[in-house]
Amino acid sequence: MAIKYGRPLESKTRVVPVDAPPPGDFPLDLSHRPRRLRRTEWLRRMVRENVLTPADLIWPMFVVDGKAARTPVSSMPGVDRLSIDEAVREVERAAKLTIPCVAIFPYTDPGLRDETGSEATNPDNLVCRAVRAIKAAVPEVGVLCDVALDPFTSHGHDGLLRDDVILNDETVDVLTQQALVQAEAGCDIIAPSDMMDGRVGAIRLALDDAGHQNVAIMAYAAKYASAFYGPFRDAVGSSKTLTGDKRTYQMDYANSDEALREVGLDLEEGADMVMVKPGLPYLDIVRRVKEEFGVPTFAYQVSGEYSMISAAVQNGWLDGDKTVLESLYAFKRAGADGILTYFAPKVAEILRSS
């Protein structure tokens, strides 16, 4: 892949200072000169250890009710909420760019949100309608759906809330129904992002009972309670109503061994793939998970990471293409098999043109 940098320093500047020691002291008697392998683009390409391709990308999109509508998410420059017809067009674009999979997140009308997130299990909710339309138009692209109640609850939490406590087992029951309506709509990958205990096993069992043996599960297994999710909550419309934080179910960012226990449990319960989230600040976790389990391991470059880079690019402080490529190569280097990123279409275009 051609990353174009400026001309090499040597060709612009005189390296040897005028009053350098006499030329007889050079060359140094070095046994190793690692720079030899960095000398030219063909050589750098030849020894490159990791490669990023469009097949590494999962493209998250936000859908909204309406027709021919795109509404910008103000805290995510360049990202719009899409009406279903617009989302279908973007998935067609994903197909052309050979992006294998998209992830669909709904902005649920506030009037449809309630205490128990009942819209989550409506077989005709926005997500299910979007999935049906996408699979009908572009069946060759995979569709992943988040399982969690936060886009549907009036309080913005991922689970059922009673006396300020997020109920685990009762929530798992609802999530199982949510997964079923999504699978029924044609979703290929169910991705529980709620961090309730035992939900992967319950969902696997329910999917199998309903004949959905081929629907895969990508567990948000090591999902941390993170401030980097802020812009996403704007996008799905849960930030204004969210009461408190999610630290009783999402992980403490001070922990690392715990991530391995969480991943181990989700795999035992039947997860096909696991995810670490957020992304860049948690590459140590990606590396540990990949080394310990050797299963398909994904990372989510979350909304806050997207917005940080985009804001700096908008200000002219960072070069967008180079920064985005570098950030995604970092995931590959850490051992990720793929990355959920809002930069997916942009990156696929960069990769295609280089």
Ligand X SMILES: NCc1[nH]cc(CCC(=O)O)c1CC(=O)O
Catalytic (active site) residue 290: no
What's the closest the beta carbon of residue 18 comes to ligand X, in angstroms?
55
Cis preceding linkage at 60, omega within 30: no
**How far apart (Å, rounded) are the C-alpha atoms in residues 172 and 148?**
9
Catalytic residue among 135, 223, 290, 332: 223
CB-based contact 325:350 (threshold 8 Å): yes
CB atoms within 10 A of CB 253: 16
Write down the least CB distance from residue 231 to Mg ion, Å.
Answer: 25
Strand-pair partners of 338: 298
Distance of CA 282 to CAs 17, 164, 188, 244, Å? 44, 29, 27, 23
Selection from Mg ion, ligand X, none that 262 binds (CB < 5 to 8 A by kind) is Mg ion
Distance CA 46, CA 31 (A): 22
Q: Residue 302's binding partner, choosing from Mg ion, ligand X, none, with beta-carbon cut-off 5 to 8 A by kind?
A: ligand X
Q: Which of 80, 150, 266, 269 binds ligand X (CB under 6 A)?
A: 150
For 147, phi then psi, to 5°, come to -115, 115
303 binds ligand X (CB under 6 A): yes
* CA–CA dist 83, 109 (Å, integer): 13
The correct pick among 86, 146, 234, 269 for binding ligand X (CB under 6 A) is 146
Radius of gyration of the chain (CA): 23
Tell me the C-alpha distance between 87 and 80, whole Å: 10
What residues numbered 249-268 form the site for Mg ion, per CB under 5 A? 262
- Please, is 6 exposed, middle or buried when counting C-beta atoms within 10 Å of its C-beta (0-12, 13-18, 19+)? exposed
- Report the partner that residue 119 touches, choosing among Mg ion, ligand X, none (CB closer than 5 to 8 A by kind): none
State yes or no: is 223 an active-site residue: yes
Residue that is written with structure tokens 């169910």 in the block: 190
Work out how close the CB of 282 gets to Mg ion at its nearest, in angstroms, rounded to a whole number.
16
Kindly state the smallest distance separating residue 154's Cβ from ligand X, in Å.
15
State yes or no: residue 302 binds ligand X (CB under 6 A).
yes
Q: Which of 101, 133, 148, 202 binds ligand X (CB under 6 A)?
A: 148
By rule CB under 6 A, what string of x and - marks binding of each residue 180-219 to ligand X? -------------xx-------------------------
Residues assigned a catalytic role:
223, 277
Q: Which residues bind ligand X (CB under 6 A)?
A: 146, 148, 150, 158, 193-194, 229, 232-233, 246, 302-303
